[in-house]
A = this chain, B = another copy of it.
Amino acid sequence: MKTNPGLFFEDYRLGETIVHAVPRTLSGGERALYHALYPARHVLYSSDKFARSCGFAEAPMDDLIAFHTVFGKTVPDISLNAVANLGYAEGRWLQPVAAGDTLRAESTVIGLKENSNGKSGVVYVRTKGFNQDEEPVLEYVRWVMVRKGNLAAPTPSAVVPQLAPAVVPEALVIPKRLNFSQYDFALAGEPHRWADYEVGEIIDHVDGVTVEEAEHMLATRLWQNTAKVHFDATVREDGKRLIYGGHIISLARSLSFNGLANAQMMVALNAGAHANPCFAGDTVRAWSEVLEKAETSRPGVGAIRLRLVATRGAVGALKADDGKYLPEVLLDLDYWALMPM
Residues of A within 8 A of B (CB): 2-4, 19, 21-25, 27-33, 35-39, 41, 43, 46-50, 58-59, 76, 99-100, 102, 104, 132, 186-190, 192, 196-197, 203-210, 212-215, 217-219, 221-222, 224, 226, 228, 231-235, 241, 258-261, 283
Contact = CB atoms under 8 A, between A and B. Distances in A.
B241 A23 contact: no
A221 B186 CA distance: 21
Contact of A222 (B32, B76, B215, B234): B32
A186 B259 contact: no
Contacts of A59: 25
Given A33-B36, A212-B217, A224-B35, A232 B283 contact: yes
A207 B225 CA distance: 12
Contact of A215 (B19, B33, B217): B217
How many of these chains are in the complex?
Answer: 3
B187 A208 contact: no
A224 B46 contact: yes
B259 A2 contact: yes
Most buried by B among A22, A38, A205, A206: A22
A232 B312 CA distance: 12
A48 B192 CA distance: 41
Contact of A189 (B22, B186, B209, B260): B22
Contact of A49 (B46, B102, B219): B102
Nearest to A31: B29
A192 B3 CA distance: 10
Most buried by B among A19, A47, A204: A47
Contacts of A19: 186-187
Nearest to A222: B36
A197 B32 CA distance: 38
Contacts of A35: 221-222, 224
A38 B233 contact: no
Contacts of A210: 213, 231-234, 241
A36 B241 CA distance: 17
Contacts of A132: 48-49
A218 B215 contact: yes
Contact of A41 (B224, B258, B283): B224
Contacts of A38: 221
Nearest to A284: B232
A283 to B, nearest CB: 5
Given A2-B259, A221-B35, A221-B39, A47 B29 contact: no
B76 A283 contact: no
Contacts of A207: 226, 228, 231-232
Contacts of A235: 208
A206 B207 CA distance: 38
